[in-house]
Amino acid sequence: MAKRQKTVLTKLELQIMQVIWKRGASTVAAVQEGLQQDLAYTTVQTMLNILHRKGKLKRELHGRAFAYTATVTEAKASSHAVRDLVDRMFGGSSEDLVMSLIKNRQIDPQKIAELTKRLEAEEG
């Protein structure tokens, strides 16, 4: 459980990471400006410090302010989140996830066929 807490991002952590992935190295003020919701400077600062302690960000002092950069890619964070979802909700079965998407009409069989063709083309 402790490992999951460290790898999976909360909703707010993800929003902050998305700002940094998009903008690159950012100060607290820059992240605060990039967020779609209005959060206090100290809240953003606290969240950046939490992400730093979790190892998701590194920071470097630039003048009087820290600049934060991501230590994990967006693709890797996405992979962890999907794995966590599959493990928790579908007992580790990716097939059950896909079936759930189809049953709930979140993806249709035609789209599955299209994605299968794209995957085959990528694999060459």
pLDDT single digits (tens) 9-28: 899 999 999 999 999 999 99
pLDDT in tens, 73-95: 999 988 888 998 999 999 999 99
pLDDT score for 46: 97
In a domain, 75, yes or no: no
77 within domain boundaries? no
Q: Which domain holds residue 109?
A: 93-124
Looking at the fold, whether 63 and 13 belong to one and the same domain comes out as yes
Mean pLDDT of 65-74: 95
pTM value > 0.85: no
Tokens of 14: 């993800």
102 occurs within a structural domain: yes
Domain CATH for 47: 1.10.10.10
Domain count, the chain: 2
Q: How far apart are CA 83 and CA 63, in angstroms?
A: 39
Which pLDDT does position 21 carry in this prediction? 97
CA pair distance 69, 15, nearest whole angstrom: 14
Asked, for residue 26, whether it belongs to a domain, the answer is yes
